[in-house]
Chains A and B, each alone.
Chain A
Amino acid sequence: MKLDSIPITLTRCAKTFRGARVLEPLDLAIGAGETLVLLGPSGCGKTTTLRLIAGLETPDAGGRVQFGDDDVTTLPIERRKVGMVFQNYALFPNLNVRGNIGYGLKIQRVSAATARERVDELLAMMRLEAHADKPVAQLSGGQRQRVALARALAPRPRVLLLDEPLTALDARLRDALRGEMNTLLRELGVTTVYVTHDQAEAMELGERIVVMSAGRIEQIGTPREIYYRPASRAVAQFIGTLNRIAGQWSDGMLRTLGGAVCASAQQAAGASELYFRPEDATLVDPASAALRGVIEQSTFLGERTRLVIGGAAPDAFFVDVAGRIELARGTPVGIAIAPEALIALA
């Protein structure tokens, strides 16, 4: 199944509920066929943004929502031709699986034969044929999720909007469905906005990720950009684990408890602290290392061992090494960090 794709443009969209600003004025351009993930903690405004795009909320005066060249700001959701999957799926309990999937087609007064064909196609695509005539109350969480997706896709929406579609599922199923979802979205080629608070989901599904916090966009970028070049501490700390090196700058070096870290001139300019990811540090001989610490804790996690290293900087470091490496508490170690892996933040 392949759907048409159109770009979405939000211009100065803000939202105030009963005098409380939940979304600061926001500009966002979503490319045709792109999968954009809105990522952030709860209350960051990501769901509100999605609801603005859906037409379930209208932006404060001055805001504008466009689908392609259509200004849809004042159109209610039922006239926007969007497909939406809700967090709890909002399946209709009075209809069976087939009835749910075919609901949008029935509303559009599609002929019964065409509708049946389309519903069958979607049932097959979602592997739901065996459940076609069951009431939705009898379905498992994963099946409900697929029904919700099929229902949203049936009327061939211009835009697909997903509000935490995997959050209601248990962890194992969530991991499996994330992959399926990814394949499906690539195949559909429809412009998709995906809201989640789960960074693994965001990384896997998003072509671009919008990190939001407190009603603002913190950063927009590809998963790699967000991970390796976070724009702010808020982003850096929300995505993955990050180690902070605090200290005093002198001669392009950041001097801290366990030694010094060499940074490029570009990084040193304007930065007050350096950060790095746990997997970007390597252990070296403490005798010749620029930065030294002591193993405080070592946790074997199977494919890797996570070390907690104290004494190198005011905050303990988390460093990931190969699973086979065993180090006792109290072992002195040297830490080397490749200059390009250092993240400088103001």
Chain B
Amino acid sequence: MSALPSRGRDEDRLSTRVEPRAPHRRSALPSARTWIAVAQWLVTLATCAFLVVPVVMSIVAGLTVNYFRGVASGLTLRWLEEVWTQYHASVFLSLEVAAATLAVTLATGVPAGYALARSRTRVSRMIEELLVMPVALPGLASALALLVVYGGYSAFRMSAAFIVVGHVVFTLPFMVRPVAAVCASSDLRTLEEGAASLGASFMQRFFTIVLPNARPGIVAGALAVLTLSIGEFNLTWMLHTPDTKTLPVGLADTYASLRIEVGSAYTILFFIMTMPLLVAMQWFGVATPDVATRRERNAGISHHQDSQ
């Protein structure tokens, strides 16, 4: 109780000191602030609309009977059915390619990220930079390089494995980077020394300490690899054969050769496949048992990705 009056007195003193200028500010500042806030909201909403409206339109287009006559012509699932009957093979192919890509990037990218994080030599820094090259290069260029080198092996070139190779080249850095970031930030080296002091061999340490503690990075990497693989077009378009059409290649097909409603229905199919992955990506980013420490680590990862 005794503290309150004195605090009040302090405030009085403050306000009397400020008072001479206060009337000016009160009339001028809030209104300017309001204008700025309104302007910010308008810009943000306009940007959102600019981005979201085409997506919504596309979804609507895929569900209307005749896009040119508008929604008034009625809604239908016919186009979706048509796309499914014609292109369900590419859905499964895309899933298979994504799974295979994930398997390869897990098997190679996780150890690579771990090794890069542990090694502090200049060579490892160079390797880290080189890994990102396929992301910096246009996909067409990487694809061309693959075709020039492996195009002659026709059985390989005709198979979906060829596309997997392309996807691995493109997605590997997205696995290596987050894994390396987690490994570097969580002081894995000391944890490993601790495990070693308790008698754990290298493999035991890797599976009981390194992998569980690198999990946030691995999950982030895995989801990135899956989404990128499913959506990859540039490379795949160059690498695909009529028998190995993935989802985005099929999408380009439908847009190029069929009516717009079919192409839009295809977009819906695409949404249905990738949205759960994107949601999972966000969800795993936050909801992990050891919330506090993981959050810190995840923050580390996102910084890292930003810097890419």
Interface residues of A (CB under 8 A from B): 54, 56, 76-79, 81-84, 86, 88, 90-94, 103-104, 107-108, 135, 137, 151-152, 154-155, 161
List of A residues within 8 angstroms of B289 by Cβ: 135
Minimum CB distance partner of B190 in chain A: A90
11 example contacts (A-B, Cβ-Cβ < 8 A) are as follows A56-B193, A78-B201, A82-B197, A83-B197, A86-B190, A88-B187, A92-B191, A103-B198, A108-B199, A135-B290, A137-B292
A295 to B199, CA, bound (A): 60
A161 to B204, CA, bound (A): 22
List of B residues within 8 angstroms of A152 by Cβ: 197-198
A78 to B187, CA, bound (A): 19
A84 with B293, Cβ < 8 A, contacts A93-B213, A94-B209, A94-B212 known? no
List of B residues within 8 angstroms of A76 by Cβ: 196
List of B residues within 8 angstroms of A79 by Cβ: 199
Does B200 reach chain A (CB closer than 8 Å)? yes
- B190–A88 contact, CB under 8 A? yes
Which of B198, B215, B290, B292 touches A104 (beta carbons < 8 Å)? Answer: B198
Minimum CB distance partner of A103 in chain B: B198
List of B residues within 8 angstroms of A92 by Cβ: 191, 194-195, 209, 213
A77 with B197, Cβ < 8 A, contacts A90-B191, A94-B213 known? yes
A81 to B197, CA, bound (A): 7
Which of B195, B197, B204, B215 has the largest number of chain A CB atoms within 10 A?
B197
A77 to B196, CA, bound (A): 6
Does B66 reach chain A (CB closer than 8 Å)? no
List of B residues within 8 angstroms of A108 by Cβ: 199
Does B186 reach chain A (CB closer than 8 Å)? yes
The smallest beta-carbon distance between A46 and chain B, in angstroms, is 17
Minimum CB distance partner of A90 in chain B: B194
List of A residues within 8 angstroms of B191 by Cβ: 90, 92-93
In the complex, besides A76-B196, A79-B199, A92-B191, 4 extra interface pairs with C-beta distance below 8 angstroms are: A92-B209, A94-B290, A103-B200, A161-B197
- A93–B193 contact, CB under 8 A? no
- B290–A78 contact, CB under 8 A? no
List of A residues within 8 angstroms of B215 by Cβ: 94
List of A residues within 8 angstroms of B213 by Cβ: 92-94
- A104–B190 contact, CB under 8 A? no
A77 to B197, CA, bound (A): 6
- A90–B193 contact, CB under 8 A? yes
A204 to B213, CA, bound (A): 37
A94 to B211, CA, bound (A): 10
A333 to B221, CA, bound (A): 75
The 9 closest A-B pairs by CB, nearest first: A104-B198, A90-B194, A94-B212, A84-B197, A90-B190, A78-B196, A107-B199, A77-B196, A107-B200
List of A residues within 8 angstroms of B208 by Cβ: 103
Which of B193, B212, B292 has the largest number of chain A CB atoms within 10 A?
B193
A77 to B204, CA, bound (A): 14
A93 with B196, Cβ < 8 A, contacts A78-B201, A88-B190 known? no
- A137–B197 contact, CB under 8 A? no
A104 to B201, CA, bound (A): 11
A142 to B253, CA, bound (A): 65
- B197–A93 contact, CB under 8 A? no
- B209–A155 contact, CB under 8 A? no
Which of A76, A78, A137, A152 has the largest number of chain B CB atoms within 10 A?
A78
List of A residues within 8 angstroms of B201 by Cβ: 78
A81 to B195, CA, bound (A): 12
The smallest beta-carbon distance between B295 and chain A, in angstroms, is 11
- B198–A107 contact, CB under 8 A? yes
List of B residues within 8 angstroms of A94 by Cβ: 209, 212-213, 215, 290
Residues of B163-222 contacting chain A, CB below 8 A:
186-187, 190-191, 193-201, 204, 208-209, 212-213, 215
- B190–A137 contact, CB under 8 A? no
A300 to B293, CA, bound (A): 45
A161 to B186, CA, bound (A): 23
A92 to B292, CA, bound (A): 15
Interface string of B203-245 (1 = CB under 8 A from A): 0100011001101000000000000000000000000000000
A152 to B198, CA, bound (A): 7
A155 to B191, CA, bound (A): 17
- B195–A137 contact, CB under 8 A? no
The smallest beta-carbon distance between A3 and chain B, in angstroms, is 15
List of B residues within 8 angstroms of A93 by Cβ: 186, 191, 213, 290, 293
A154 to B194, CA, bound (A): 13
Minimum CB distance partner of A151 in chain B: B198
The smallest beta-carbon distance between B292 and chain A, in angstroms, is 6
A241 to B190, CA, bound (A): 36
List of A residues within 8 angstroms of B204 by Cβ: 107
A93 to B293, CA, bound (A): 9
A312 to B224, CA, bound (A): 75
A137 to B204, CA, bound (A): 23
- A137–B293 contact, CB under 8 A? yes
The smallest beta-carbon distance between B300 and chain A, in angstroms, is 14
A86 to B190, CA, bound (A): 8
A155 to B200, CA, bound (A): 12
Minimum CB distance partner of A157 in chain B: B197
Minimum CB distance partner of A104 in chain B: B198
Minimum CB distance partner of A78 in chain B: B196
Minimum CB distance partner of B293 in chain A: A137
